[in-house]
Structure 1
Amino acid sequence: MKPTVYITRKVPDEIIQRIEEHCVILMWEKEDMAVPRDELEKEIQEVDGLFCLLTDSIDHSLLEKAKRLKVISNMAVGYNNIDIEAAKLKGITVTNTPGVLTETTADLTFALLMATARRLIESSRYLSNGEWQTWSPMQLTGQDVYGATIGIIGMGRIGAALLKRAQGFDMKILYHNRSRKLDLEKNFSMTYVELDQLLKESDYVCIMTPYTPDTKNLIGAKELALMKSNAILINTARGGIVNEDALYSALQSGQIWAAGLDVFEEEPVALNHPLLTLPNVVTLPHIGSASIKTRLQMAHLATDNLLLALNNQTPKHVVV
């Protein structure tokens, strides 16, 4: 008898076809709306596999309702949406999709850095609102990127991809990580520094670290106060790494120059969120990995993980 799989969002037809060859599929059919909690609680009770997204909260109380769940295949690199300990206690395999989104997310991070530095969104609105009447020497002037100092917090796959892009702009590269990356230091012109020094010296502070209990609110009022007044903070990692109240105060007061954010503590972010009111903030709806090619690769990798686990084989990427 085929195992039963629940998919928490409408996925491309080619993914459905792959899974359908081996499994009975139940699926939340909407693309633009997360599966309601009561629906997920009902469906998880009698399925063998769960194909889910970062937006789905797979917590202890939900897992308690699962009677025969063998695998949770998360279509994301991060997995802070899943109670890993609860899954481990129930013997449920948890998988993720690292690697395939590295270059795409690094592209987006550098694009966000440049858009924020050169005020591209603000300038586009300025034009479309009919405010552009003449050329002026200091009109919509931003910060230079070429030759500036970038500080990268977190030197995993995406951090390492970002430094290659920074090198192309002849940037001075500082980094902070739990451990030094001597192999990268050997091959690239980069310097390991403590976090405080990185914050003090960087023109651009890019957060690339995973979201863990240790990195929750890693950047708060104290850390923001160390940054230069012309510095820009870029976050494409996880919203909870930055204290958003402290960031709003620092941006509003001019303590730092600007911020580019692809992530928020609560997503989707509320339209009345204070950060959305500031002209010196560029905000995006968590699109770090949003290229057609990469999202399909992520979906296929999540499918590989799912099918291998259901076939009692070791998935390609096991969290627990």
Structure 2
Amino acid sequence: MTTKPRVYVACNFPQEVLDLFINRFNASYNDTGRVLTTDELIAHALGMDAIVLTAPDRLDAAAVQRLPASVKVVCTYSVGTDHIDLDALQARGITVFSTPDVLDESCADAAWLLMLGAARRVIEGIDLVRNGTWQGWSPRQLIGREVWGSRLGILGMGRIGRAIAKRARGFDMAVHYHNRNRLGPELEAGAQYHSSLKSLAEHSDFLCIACPASPSTRGLVNKEILECLPADAVVCNISRGDIVRDEDLILALKTGTVAAAGLDVFAGEPDIHPEYRQLPNVFGLPHIGSSTMRTRLAMGELLCSGLDSYFSGS
């Protein structure tokens, strides 16, 4: 193709990221400030060579069938692809680009924010200060969970999981992990492998979920797994909300089976289970794991480079 591809950006990007697509491709874009409906997305895709989506933009099999014949590439501004039907796209010969590898460090930082915030009861502490109800220092005030020297269990030892493990060494933590397959020694870096999630849970004072979302991982962290955790354990989720069975985690938080949870992702977000908003031992964030400008720009650059390579034939 000798001319620039016609690109439509459906995402509500920061201006600096949007400018990458405008300057590179003279892209048209969603200027509504909200997620488009499927009908709107299909309408805007007319005549486009590529469309750029992100996690809230759903592209199921029926929507894929409605995509105009001009669309050759779907870019998703995310690592996860559970919001788009890959099989349907492949069947139509549409190439998919995502943004792996460039958000590992920011997500690992966020995982530690979640674990520390949950362990040290930050939500309750902030409420005391902001509500004016703090009565001054007391040796019984907001006694939390020790992080230093504890055992960290990582479900999913991919690039994000390994970045989380690297930071754990600064807290003198013993790192355990569960993967479908054991890593080589150079990637394990001293972490202990568990062939089952149940075994991992039994050795996890902190259980951090960093595995990809898929039909096989949906509801993987359930009552059976949560009951295997040691006393006063903390659960952290930096991956996708539906890996955790909400009702089971909420019950565990209420009964003390789990001391606290640090959650950046939720099933059905933003329409999350209402009890998460009420529980004082939930340190919840609105899916900001990759939300730094450096990472946002790197994600955009990766997709732009993919589009350049695809349409230039290189």
What's the TM-score once normalised by structure 2's chain length? Answer: 0.93
Q: Percent identity?
A: 37
Q: 1:17 Cα deviation (Å)?
A: 4.5
Q: Distance in 1 between matches of 2:263 and 2:58?
A: 22
Q: 1:118 Cα deviation (Å)?
A: 0.6
Q: Which amino acid aligns with 2:304?
A: T
Q: Which amino acid aligns with 1:219?
A: V
Q: Distance in 1 between matches of 2:104 and 2:85?
A: 24
Residue by residue, what CA displacement relative to the aligned partner does 1:229-262 show, whole Å, maximum 9, x if unpaired?
3001000000010001111111111111111100
Q: 1:13 Cα deviation (Å)?
A: 4.5
Unmatched 5+ stretches in structure 1: 314-320
User: Is 2:175 the partner of 1:173?
Assistant: yes
Q: Is the 8 A contact 2:205 2:233 kept in 1?
A: yes
Matches within 5 A, 1:1-320: 2-20=4-22, 23-31=25-33, 33-66=34-67, 67-184=69-186, 188-193=189-194, 194-270=196-272, 273-313=274-314
Q: Is the 8 A contact 1:260 1:282 kept in 2?
A: yes
Instruction: Please say which of residues 229-238 and 121-130 is displaced more in the overlay.
Output: 121-130
Q: Which amino acid aligns with 1:244?
A: D
Q: 1:46 Cα deviation (Å)?
A: 2.5
Q: Is the 8 A contact 1:45 1:65 kept in 2?
A: no
Q: Is the 8 A contact 1:233 1:259 kept in 2?
A: yes
Secondary structure of the structure 1 residue equivalent to 2:82? coil
Secondary structure of the structure 2 residue equivalent to 1:46? coil
Residue by residue, what CA displacement relative to the aligned partner does 1:198-225 show, whole Å, maximum 9, x if unpaired?
1112110000100111111111111111
Secondary structure of the structure 1 residue equivalent to 2:46? helix
Q: Is the 8 A contact 2:12 2:35 kept in 1?
A: no
Q: Is the 8 A contact 1:185 1:191 kept in 2?
A: no
Secondary structure of the structure 2 residue equivalent to 1:150? strand
Q: Distance in 2 between matches of 1:303 and 1:30?
A: 22
Q: Is the 8 A contact 1:51 1:306 kept in 2?
A: no
Q: Distance in 2 between matches of 1:293 and 1:90?
A: 34
Q: Which amino acid aligns with 1:310?
A: F
Q: 1:167 Cα deviation (Å)?
A: 0.7
Count of residue pairs brought into register by the alignment = 310
Q: Which amino acid aligns with 2:290?
A: S
Q: Distance in 2 between matches of 1:156 and 1:111?
A: 19
Q: Is the 8 A contact 1:218 1:241 kept in 2?
A: yes
Q: 1:309 Cα deviation (Å)?
A: 2.1
What's the TM-score once normalised by structure 1's chain length? Answer: 0.92
Q: 1:79 Cα deviation (Å)?
A: 0.9
Unmatched 5+ stretches in structure 2: none
Q: Is the 8 A contact 2:123 2:281 kept in 1?
A: no
Secondary structure of the structure 2 residue equivalent to 1:259? strand
